Amino acid sequence: MNILQRKLLSRRTLLRQSGVALALPLLESMQVGTAAEKPAPQRFLGILNYFSFHAPNLFPAEQGKGYTSTPYLKLIEEHRDDFTIISGLNNPDVRDGHASDKSFFTGAAHPSSPAFRNTISVDQVVAEQLGRKTRIGSLHLATSAGFSCSYTRNGVAIPSDSSPAKVFAKLFIDGTQQEVAAEVERIREGKSILDRVRGQAKSLEGSLTPGDREKMDQYFTSVRELEQRLKQAEEYARLPKPKPGTKLIEDPGPGEELVRFGNLLDVARLALATDLTRIVTMYYVGTSKTPSQPGTSFPYHELSHHGQDAGKLERLAILERDLISQWGLFVGRMKETREGNARLLDRTMVVFGAAMGNASSHDATNLPILVAGGGFRHGQHVQHDVKNPPPLCNLWVQVLNHMGVPAERFGSSRGSGIPGLEARA
């Protein structure tokens, strides 16, 4: 019994140590790019809107290219040929009101269940495959601290950054010699942890079963890969950061989350344009102040539960119009930003959507989805039967393949894409 207890203690210690090593941030991301990798990389930016949109102001009555613009779509009419609006989608077995946000990029069922455990989000599947080609494997942003829409393979939420100024500084402002040295030392300490964990694991080999030896071989492979990524991280820490050629991006005032949303989008655009990363997620959590009505406070959550009250709907529309307008400004900047002879938008698949179709009733069907850029045929309303829709995860399969990560399934998908959303010839 004492021998058994000692073995179990050693294995628990090993797992605890390996958990530290495997959880080190951004290790998937760090590999110096080569000239051969530079031409035409594809990017993905996924945006989750917590409180959704009032559907009658967003969805057109007609499908196809000849749709009549709605009050919200009129605001971005100049970009009509650069985006597609998709209606009728949902995540099967996700009918959990506000908790549905956990499943937006994963498709995991029953997120409000006490036994719920999330799965990996689509952006992290891409990051596992492609993150090492850029300095930052994936970038995670949110307009409010503590919110996240990206999840690791173990279903753990990845912390997001909510300060545009701090993210800008982290991406584009070089540190002092001392700060660079401290960063290199931090990375080296990560390597020393891996060395210690590997040494502990080696000491167990003689007492392992054949099945456990196979698991340990897989573990050693992971350790070797992490060591390579840490070496790449050390190289990146010594390199100067790119200069975006713009003024500093600053934080907005209290409650001005729509301004924060726009500033974070601009930071994301610069990160994509300089190829610091090719994968970005953002969580827009709502606001109480809005640019078109300065000095006025809007209780966003209360307004989203409008119950068809005309006064609440009128005030809610002010918030949502300004949100759509901010997104339209971003699309315009992505069109203006050039990468060689192409627009950055054409090489970036931008998905802007919500996990609820009707926030007033907490209904998680008929999700609003806007897809811009990415080289798709746009200028249309792709409408699906709300009683028999394709799963939202079909779109994530399309994202994976678009990014060069071959996939036939993801989450609750039943197909390889959204019918009607097709790449340009």
Give residue 33's pLDDT. Answer: 43
What's the whole-number mean pLDDT along residues 52-72?
96
The two tokens of residue 74 are 């009129």
Q: Where do we find the tokens 């071959």?
A: 406
Give residue 296's pLDDT. Answer: 86
pLDDT digits (tens, 9 = 90+) for 206-241: 666 776 766 666 556 555 555 555 555 555 555 667
- The answer, yes or no, to whether residue 36 has pLDDT greater than 80, is no
d(CA 89, CA 392): 6
d(CA 41, CA 256): 34
d(CA 207, CA 175): 48
pLDDT digits (tens, 9 = 90+) for 274-320: 999 999 999 999 988 898 998 888 888 889 889 898 999 999 999 99
What HEC string does the chain produce? Answer: CHHHHHHHHHHHHHHHHHHHHHCCCCHHHECCCCHHHCCCCCEEEEEEECCCCCHHHCCCCCCECCCCCCCCHHHHHHHHHHEEEEEEEECCCCCCHHHHHHHCCCCCCCCCCCCCCCCCCHHHHHHHHHHHHECCCCEEEECCCCCCCCECCCCCECCCECCHHHHHHHHHCCCCHHHHHHHHHHHHHHHHHHHHHHHHHHHHHHHCCHHHHHHHHHHHHHHHHHHHHHHHHHHHHHCCCCCCCCCCCCCCCCCCHHHHHHHHHHHHHHHHHCCCCCEEEEEECCCCCCCCCCCCCCCHHHHHCCCCCHHHHHHHHHHHHHHHHHHHHHHHHHHHCEECCEEHHHHEEEEEECCCCECCCCECCCEEEEEEECCECCCEEEECCCCCCCECHHHHHHHHHHCCCCCCCCCCCCCCCCCCCCECC
Report the predicted TM-score, pTM, of the whole model to 2 decimal places: 0.79
- The domain 41-173+243-402: what is its CATH number? 3.40.720.10
* Residue 111 confidence class, pLDDT cut points 50, 70, 90: very high
- The answer, yes or no, to whether residue 162 has pLDDT greater than 90, is yes
Give residue 360's pLDDT. Answer: 87
**Is residue 55 a contact partner of residue 383, using CB atoms and an 8 Å limit?**
no
